[in-house]
Structure 1
Amino acid sequence: MAQRTGAIMTDQLKNWGVEHIYGLPGDSINELIDDIRTSESLDFIQVRHEETASLAASSEAKLTGKLGVCLSIAGPGGVHMLNGLYDAKGDHAPVLAIVGQVSSTAVGTDAFQEINLERMFDDVAVFNKRAQSSEQLPDLLNQAIREAYAQKGVSVLIVPDNLFAEKQKDGASLTTSTYFRPNIFPAQEDMNAARELIEKAEKPVILAGKGTFGAQEELLSFAEKAGAPIILSLLAKGLIPDNHPYCLGHHGQIGTKPAYHAVKETDLLILIGTQFPYSDFFPEGVDGIQIDNKPENIGKYYPVTVGLAGDAKSTLSALTSTMTQTEDTSYLEKYQEKMNEWRISLQKEKREEKTPIQAPQVMYQVEKLLEPGAIVSADVGNVTVWASRFLPFIDQKFLISGQLATMGIGLPGALAAQIVHPDKQVLAICGDGGFSMMMHDFVTAVKYQLPIKVIVLNNEAIGMIQYEQQQMGHLNYQTDLGPVNFAGFAENCGGEGYRIESFDEMETKMKQAFLSDKPAIIDVCIEDMAPLPGHIDYTSAVNYTQYIIKNFFETGSMDLPDMKKAVKRLF
């Protein structure tokens, strides 16, 4: 029986486990849109901007490990999707982008909205093909999805819209809608070498990334036997509870002081399921072990001594079973004590009761309302530090743009999370800069009755850039943002809005918002302050002092108390 090619493809997507597609209808995908409309197995999630579609698809893939799918028209729609696709590429999320193109008879004629899509997507995609005929499409679709899964990346399938409408026999595909995952395991000699390094180490440290999800029990058993504290990459927040005795928090610019010093003092760095790229935060001249299921990643960012090419779960289990129990745990205990001191200092900071409100106080209110299993989608900027440092997780999940670090990810991530997990509590925590980039799609939450809660830390500034300028010794320039009442915007969209301007009203209004079953924006006016890193290097300190001096001579201000406050915060 002959079927439209678009209908065959919607059935294929369902066979691959795809339940919905994010996108916007338009003139170069309308044939496929009609097939989706009549499909009983595939939902179309209409967003207001294609960047939201690709960011949501990327977020869903990160959250579930399954394929995220987005759809756009040719020309401007494809261009809009690029940012979300680069986010998926950077964080190794399997995403399929189906992109329309002008009619196959018009390709190459500079037709209306025609651009060279193959060239544009070449850098972002692991698979990037334009269909030449409808007969190719079922096999190309299978190939695209397999490549996205196999390489944990972006597949782009470009289709002239008329091809979707052409009919062909159902079942004519030469390939199957299946991906078989490989199971690789390290060579025995490498396992032996790793065990020897671990057993002779006196100060081992583990840096675990998102590749360790699914191997939490094995990770903790390994850490206990090795006597090694665990430091997490940002993408691995929630891997183990933040209050776990082996956890030293995050590493890098957003990290904790104990994590920084533990890594600098270690005599063995053990990297597990991470591609932490910040070489300034690694030790020098120290032995290293790296576990990764992609051999090409081993040694990519750190000159490891031993590489274990294998899955984290099976590799850790096998390695732990051959190790002898570490008797000297003095290094672990030293940093457990330092981490407890760090946690106490954070508790003091976020439990302060004062106006103007500071971001750590907001995180404390969120912490009290956070449900087990909740999903938190954090935006990029100062808000990343506030959420990762001051919002402790027990079993919650964290969404963020890691390698690309694109502002605007908070809201699309929350939309995807609530669609995938309708019964879970879903929050977006955004700065006013990041939220204003994608705020138009709050109406998508209203349309689909997604009860997400969006906390906007409103300091009327691009805070992270402001701090970066100061850290470089420059005066601030064009980092101020105009005042926006995001609570009023939420109400105009048909959702609920809560404006919080003083500490005294924060707890009550926050509870009201969280009790609501409607999408809501909680607009919190906060003091403009930068979250200082766990460790401040000498150059940053000198440059920041230069900023203070320049600001004094530029403004002529004699407000010495503020200057003293700034210096005190830095040192």
Structure 2
Amino acid sequence: MFRTTAGDLMMELLIDWGVDHVYGMPGDSINTLIESIRKVKDQLTFIQVRHEEAGALAAAAYAKLTGKLGVCMGIAGPGAIHLLNGLYDAKLDRAPVLAIAGQVETDLMGTDFFQEVDLANLFKDVAVYSQTVMSAEQLPAVLNQAIRAAYDKKGVSVLIIPDDIPKFEVERQARITSSFFVQSTALPQEKDIKKAVDILNEAKRPVILAGKGARGASSSLLAFAEKMKAPIVLSLPGKGIIPDEHPYCLGGLGLLGTKPSTIAMEEADTLIMVGTSFPFTGFLPAKAKTIQIDKDPSQIGKRYPVDVGLAGDSHQTLNSLMELVKNDNNGSFLEGCQENLKEWRTKLYEQEQDHSTPIKPQRVIRALQEVADDDAILSVDVGNVTVWMARHFNMTNQKFVISSWLATLGCGLPGAIAGCIAYPDKQVFAICGDGGFQMMMNDFVTAVKYDLPLVAIVLNNHKIAMIKFEQEVMGNAEFGTNLQNPNFAKYADICGGVGFRVEQPEELLPALKKAVSEKKPCIIDVVVDANEAPLPAKITFGQAAGYARHMLKEFFQEGKIHKPPL
């Protein structure tokens, strides 16, 4: 009977599942698996990262961009621990990821051996499925179950594999199960549809809030909005579901959103939530009839009280509602929202045209808009840069990836690496602040090594600027936010990429055009104004009062007030 090693069979099964690359760093407790990958390197590429966190973040971003399984690896102990941040990003954004963690050999487990860590407990909270493999025969079935769980539950599966297991021979057909999973389309109950239609028929000022669960339903979403004469507000993960410049789109909501969206929510008498469990409920209507559509029933009413829950696929559910709704509101509410949006966009345009120095970050985003293709991949880091991109970049058909729920600094560059691998023929940009970029900048050499032509745009203000603003809004003096930055353009050159340093507004667009034409990994180091605050779309009294307290503290420097002589 033909036998192969468990490690080799594992790679065959990964390929059967459609996995074509793995992020990781070799090490002693996964070296046997690395050898198995080497044998199939023409079908399964090993992407060597410089830090396992970058590999996990890239795997999560790949899953978010494509819907396919992202796969990452780490050795026992430190390598597995390094994976955690990226895995939590995948967990919170509900992205299917498989993490393969090495472990000490089975006869050494429980002896406090070198690099032995209780990995089962380490991954307990982050994983929808976690299993320590204890025999070669067990591995194939467990691998299939782990991948199926990651897809079905949209989360992280973890396989902990002691170093000796992949070496053992196993019969090719031993405990092999099916390498596929089956999906179904969920539909709401008819009685819930009827309740929703009754509310929708009475709505005079309806507003739609759409999230990432509405991806793939853009045509039915727009048709429903037109029938209801309802403006559409987008959550940050939902950015790009419909074009930002569509006449029904009011943009985002919350601290990163637009003023017209905030006003619309304040005036709405009916809220229709589609594929979102929006957490910042203070921006939602205080009094409005609410309908929530979500494929996952556990998300309905989870954070905000709803009158009707529709547990179903967004596309199918919206179509079902459209067949029955007979709303006849006159559209005046929608027209008022559109007028507000025109005024808001005029203000944004004025900010984007500011020619002062240091360069305004809004101007950087406008320049990016001019060079980015309609199908470009945009990997956005966390911080002030998120605000500028959310407000000032108008999505058409681009793909937008971010650490949404975990909001972890450093996600921009790994996301762009994943974007280049997923879509090798498309433009890929990483849009980062200087704080976020420096967290993962060592993996710029990964982009160079694998010839990934990403363009990293670094908004360099020598500050953790969003935290500076948060401190000021709290009424505190700024503290601990200054950064000592290198010249990122020179760093790109040293790594084997191409660097551009931009300090004047007129240098910005030429640098972007040149970087795109290089077809090499590039960094554009843009010196931007550190004092340009990402002010909320609508400032509350508390925020204004806090900022006033901050200004007094800055002026008197807390305890340094000198009494005048008598």
Q: Which moved more, 1:508-517 or 1:134-143?
A: 508-517
8 A contact 1:382–1:531 mirrored in 2? yes
Listed as ranges, the gaps of 5+ residues in structure 1 are: 559-571
Q: SS where residue 28 of structure 1 aligns?
A: helix
Number of paired residues? 558
Query: For residues 542-557 of structure 1, what are the structure 2 equivalents within 5 Å?
Result: 542-554=545-557
Amino acid in the other structure paired with 2:385: V
2:324 equivalent among 309, 322, 333: 322
- Cα gap change, 1:187/1:458 in structure 2, threshold over 3 Å: closer, same or farther? same
8 Å contact kept, 1:22–1:69:
yes
* 2:358 partner amino acid: P
Deviations 1:128-169 (A, max 9, x none): 111111111111111111111111011111000110111111
DSSP 3-state at the match of 2:138: helix
Contact 1:11 1:41 in 2 (8 A): no
- Tell me the distance in 2 between the aligned counterparts of 1:336 and 1:471: 30
CA offsets 1:395-424 (integer angstroms, 9 cap, x no match): 111010010000000000000000010000
The match for 2:541 is 538
User: Would you say 1:111 and 2:109 are equivalent positions?
Assistant: no
C-alpha displacement at 1:96, in angstroms?
Answer: 0.5
Q: 1:365 and 1:252 mapped to 2: Cα distance? A: 25
Matched to 2:334, the amino acid is L
Q: Structure 2 vs 1, CA of residues 80 and 539 (structure 1 numbering), >3 Å: closer, same or farther?
A: same
How much has 1:510 moved relative to structure 2? Answer: 2.2
Residue in 2 that maps onto 1:456: 458
Per-residue deviation at 1:483? 3.1
**Partners of 1:70 and 1:97 within 8 A in 2:** yes
Name which of structure 1's ranges 177-186 and 416-425 shifts more when overlaid on structure 2.
Answer: 177-186
- Matches of 2:135 and 2:175, distance apart in 1: 13
Encode CA deviations 1:176-221: one digit per residue, 9 max, x unaligned: 1111012211000100111111110111110000010001000000
Match of 1:120 among 116, 119, 122: 122
Choose the corresponding residue for 1:42, options 26, 41, 44: 44
Q: Secondary structure at the match of 2:415?
A: helix
| Separation of aligned partners in 1, 2:559 and 2:507 | 37
Question: In structure 1, what is the Cα distance between the partners aligned to 2:506 and 2:64?
Answer: 37
Q: What letter is aligned with 1:80? A: H
Distance 1:354 1:510 in 2: 19
Q: Which amino acid aligns with 2:137?
A: E
1:452-491 to 2 correspondences below 5 Å: 452-491=454-493
Deviation at 1:250, TM superposition (A): 0.3
1:238 aligns with 2:240: yes
After TM superposition, the structure 1 = structure 2 runs for residues 95-174 of structure 1, keeping only pairs within 5 Å, are 95-174=97-176
SS of the aligned residue for 2:100 comes to strand
Q: Distance in 2 between matches of 1:35 and 1:556?
A: 65
Does structure 2 retain, via aligned residues, the 8 Å contact 1:205–1:229? yes
Q: CA deviation at 1:555?
A: 8.3
Instruction: Letter of the 1:230 partner, please give it.
Output: I
Q: Distance in 1 between matches of 2:113 and 2:190?
A: 59
- Mapped to 2, the partners of 1:416 and 1:490 lie a distance apart of 19
Q: Describe how 1:43-442 pairs up with structure 2 within 5 A.
A: 43-442=45-444
- CA shift at 1:5, angstroms? 0.6
What's the CA shift string for 1:533-553, capped at 9, x where partnerless?
101111111011000111111
SS at match of 2:130: strand
| Residue 280 (structure 1) shift | 1.3
Counterpart in the other structure of 1:13: 14
**Are the structure 2 counterparts of residues 555 and 138 from structure 1 closer, same or farther at C-alpha, using a change threshold of 3 Å?**
same
State the distance in 1 between where 2:174 and 2:314 align: 39
SS at match of 2:525: strand
Q: Is the 8 A contact 2:209 2:235 kept in 1?
A: yes
**Residue 273 of structure 1 aligns to which amino acid in structure 2?**
G
CA apart distance, 1:285: 3.1
Question: After alignment, is 218-227 or 275-284 more displaced?
Answer: 275-284
- For 2:490, what is the secondary structure of its paired residue? helix
**Corresponding position of 1:500:** 502
Does structure 1 retain, via aligned residues, the 8 Å contact 2:202–2:327? no
Question: How big is the shift at 1:287?
Answer: 1.4
Q: Give, as a single letter, the amino acid of the residue that structure 1 aligns with 2:553.
A: K
Q: Which runs of 4+ in 1 moved over 3 A?
A: 555-558
Offset of residue 354 of structure 1: 2.1
- Supply the distance in 2 between the matched residues of 1:517 and 1:184 (Cα, whole angstroms): 43
Letter in 1 for 2:420: Q
What CA deviation, in whole Å up to 9, does each residue of 1:352-383 have, x standing for no partner?
22222010111111111011200100000000
What's the counterpart of residue 564 of structure 2? none
Deviations 1:474-519 (A, max 9, x none): 0011100013200010000000000011113222222211211111
Q: What are the ranges of 5 or more consecutive residues in structure 2 without an aligned counterpart?
A: 562-566
**CA–CA separation in structure 2 for the residues paired with 1:511 and 1:557:** 50
Q: Indicate the SS of the match to 1:523.
A: strand
Take 2:132 and 2:485, find their aligned partners in 1: how far apart are those partners? Answer: 45
1:76 aligned partner, one-letter code:
P
SS in 1 for 2:523: strand
In the alignment, the residues of structure 2 paired with residue 557 and residue 23 of structure 1 have an alpha-carbon distance, to the nearest angstrom, of 52
Amino acid at match of 1:17: G
Deviations 1:450-484 (A, max 9, x none): 11000000000000100000010000111000132
- Mapped to 1, the partners of 2:334 and 2:474 lie a distance apart of 35
Q: Percent identity?
A: 51
Q: What amino acid is the match of 2:8?
A: A
* CA shift digits 1:300-347 (9 cap, x unpaired): 011110000001011111111221253411111110110111111111
Cα distance in structure 1, aligned partners of 2:241 and 2:216: 9
Q: What secondary structure is seen at the aligned counterpart in 2 of 1:393?
A: coil
Secondary structure at 2:101's aligned position in 1?
strand
Separation (CA, whole Å) in 2 of partners of 1:327 and 1:504: 49
Distance 2:390 2:559 in 1: 37
User: TM-score when scaled to structure 2?
Assistant: 0.97
User: What displacement does 1:122 show?
Assistant: 0.6
- Residue in 1 that maps onto 2:525: 523
Q: Deviations over 1:411-444 (max 9, x none)?
A: 0000000001000000000000000000000000
Q: Which residue of 1 is the match for residue 515 of structure 2?
A: 513
Partner Cα distance (2:106, 2:253) in 1: 50
- Judged with a 3 Å threshold, the aligned counterparts in structure 2 of structure 1 residues 557 and 202 are, in CA distance, closer, same or farther, namely farther
**Is 1:445 equivalent to 2:447 in the alignment?**
yes
The 8 Å contact of residues 133 and 163 in structure 1, kept in 2 or not, is answered as: yes
Q: Aligned partners of 1:229 and 1:119: how far apart in 2?
A: 46
